Amino acid sequence: MTFPFAGLLSASAPSALVLLLGQKWAPAAPLIQILVPSYALGVVASQGSAILLSKGRNATFLVILAGLTAGRLLAVCSGYWLGETAVAWGIVVANVLYAIAMVIAPARLMDATPWDLLRVLVGPTVSSVVAAAVCAVAIAMEPHGPIATVVGLALGGVAYLVAMVAMEGALLKADLLTLRRVVFRRAAFD
């Protein structure tokens, strides 16, 4: 659920920030729109750390994490000269490079290609882009209106679900059936 939340937050940031925190937060909206998707990517990419650690590649993980930290630090330190938007984009670059490294390193350990690991993200990524677009269009009809923001978020959520069912309906059905079997089997033991 990281990608849809990131997409919807990015799409609704200008109106949602004003609605939730007040007008003084409006200038932060562009920075949130820049940063949130890259942090969502980083959250998903961090799952590769379990593979690295389980295979005893602690040093590899440490080097990748140190690179992420150095990239973010460099981005923040450049802010004095380049401004906050450049800092945000610098952090995005660091996060994207981290995500790339966290896909390539585990894939090599598993004798797989990076695409093998990324393939499962196509549906959620495309569905999240669709959700963000629907949300943005709905909000654009009445910018900064609280009703438009809530409706935009709701429509974006529905668009995500519809897109996911359209793209990965069979997989979702199998997952739900497995979940149902596990829940009802567990309930039988209680």
Over residues 134-151, the pLDDT tens digits come to 999 999 988 767 888 999
Would you tell me how many other CB atoms lie within 10 Å of the CB of residue 165? 14
Q: Is the pLDDT of residue 18 over 90?
A: no
How many angstroms separate the Cα of 31 from the Cα of each of 16, 68, 123, 166, 169?
14, 19, 26, 32, 34
pLDDT attached to residue 115:
87
More reliable by pLDDT, 156 or 184: 156
- Distance, CA of 161 to CA of 167 (rounded, Å): 10
- Distance, CA of 170 to CA of 22 (rounded, Å): 43
3-state secondary structure of 112: coil
Q: Is the pLDDT of residue 175 over 60?
A: yes
Would you tell me how many other CB atoms lie within 10 Å of the CB of residue 187? 8
Q: Indicate the pLDDT class of residue 185, thresholds 50, 70 and 90.
A: confident
| Stretch among 88-92, 123-127, 169-173 having the lowest mean pLDDT | 169-173
Q: Is the pLDDT of residue 39 over 70?
A: yes
% of the chain at pLDDT higher than 90 = 54
- Distance, CA of 100 to CA of 2 (rounded, Å): 18
pLDDT attached to residue 128:
93
pLDDT attached to residue 187:
57
pLDDT attached to residue 129:
93
Q: Indicate the pLDDT class of residue 19, thresholds 50, 70 and 90.
A: confident
- Distance, CA of 71 to CA of 42 (rounded, Å): 13
pLDDT attached to residue 132:
95
3-state secondary structure of 111: coil
More reliable by pLDDT, 118 or 56: 56
Amino acid identity of residue 105, one-letter, is: A
Sign of CA pseudo-dihedral 22, 24, 27, 33: negative
For the chain, strand residue ranges (E) read none
pLDDT attached to residue 184:
79
pTM of the model: 0.80
Q: Indicate the pLDDT class of residue 188, thresholds 50, 70 and 90.
A: low
* Cβ-Cβ contacts under 8 Å for 77 (sequence gap 6 or more): none
